Amino acid sequence: MKRALLVLILMVFILGGFVPECSQMGCCSMVRAEDAKNQTARITATEPAAIISGIKTTLKVRGFMLKEARDMRFPMAVEVKAEITEKKDSGPPKGMENKIVGDSQLIAEFTLPAQHPVGILEYVIATPAGDATGKIMVLAAETFIDETEPNNAFREAHKMQLGQSSRGSIQGDKDVDVYAFLAKAGQQLKVTVTSGGSLLMDAAVHCYDPRGQFLAAADDGESRDPVLMLKLQTDSEVFLCVSSAHDVGGEWHSYLLTVEEVK
């Protein structure tokens, strides 16, 4: 009787177009057969969250169907040749499933010309399952800093200037990266935190004055990446605290922090 019941249940799933899918050891779920057949290459995250012109870049890319990647190219910078040095499966990030954030990754190395313009650069990863397209910010070497630890407190804050950007990463759970810059009364300031992949990194930013008084905060903007507008009444140093909105950190929690004056 039990065997007949199991066969009946299996037939229902097959006729309904479902097949078992195992994304982790010992964990099976049901997905439609048509979805299993129609998987396409897709990018979900990068580390770092921005690249620098004129400097050799090592870019990690996570997504779907990337283990079989053939090459990486740049439609608007065809002279740039990327070498894929590693392709492999990705383990599930803490608290997330590979079927959502991607099950494979690669590492590519390349160098953009020093004169390459600042802005968004599109790249394409060719795979047997089709092309995966991504975009990443390009910065000039003189306008960025790289975040280094320790920088978890006001006394350890990275010093920035208006118009600068910082590439950083929330390296562990409850990690906070602190930055400081000088602002003048009446300046309209815009603080943006752009993640390397918002599916994995849900960033938040909080602002304080030198006495530790709260000024402003932002979590999600038009996307999960926060955008904060700030105007001070007096000249002051401002402290920015960048963190994960869920206090989760580690691999694939990269971000780009930009502080600029809006005129």
pLDDT digits (tens, 9 = 90+) for 175-197: 999 999 999 999 999 999 999 99
Inter-residue contact 232 to 134 (CB < 8 Å): no
- Does 94 have pLDDT greater than 70? yes
- Residue 65 reports pLDDT greater than 60: yes
Question: Which pLDDT score, from 0 to 100, does residue 145 have?
Answer: 96
| pLDDT at 63 > cutoff 50 | yes
Q: With 80 as the cut, is the pLDDT of residue 99 above it?
A: yes
pLDDT reported for residue 38: 53
- 13 band by pLDDT with thresholds 50, 70 and 90: very low
* Range 42-139 has CATH code 2.60.40.10: yes
Instruction: Give strand pairing partners of 192.
Output: 227, 258
- Residue 257: name the closest of 174, 208, 215, 196 by CA: 196
Average pLDDT over residues 226-235: 96
Mean pLDDT (the chain) is 88
Which structure tokens are listed for 83?
């070498």
**Across 221-229, average pLDDT:** 91
Question: In the predicted model, is pLDDT for residue 107 greater than 90?
Answer: yes
Supply the pLDDT for residue 69.
98
| Count of CA atoms in the C-beta half-sphere (13 A) of 240 | 31
pLDDT above 70: percentage of residues in the chain:
86
In the sheet that 254-261 helps form, which strands lie side by side, from edge to edge?
144-146, 165-169, 254-261, 188-195, 227-231
Q: How confident is the model at residue 139 (pLDDT cuts 50, 70, 90)?
A: very high
Q: Rounded to an integer, what distance in angstroms lies between the CA atom of residue 144 and that of residue 260?
A: 12
Give me the residue spans of the domains in the chain.
Answer: 42-139, 142-261
| 34 has a pLDDT exceeding 50 | no
Residue 111 scores a pLDDT above 50: yes
pLDDT band at 211 (very low <50, low <70, confident <90, very high): very high
Q: What kind of fold does domain 142-261 have according to CATH?
A: Jelly Rolls (2.60.120)
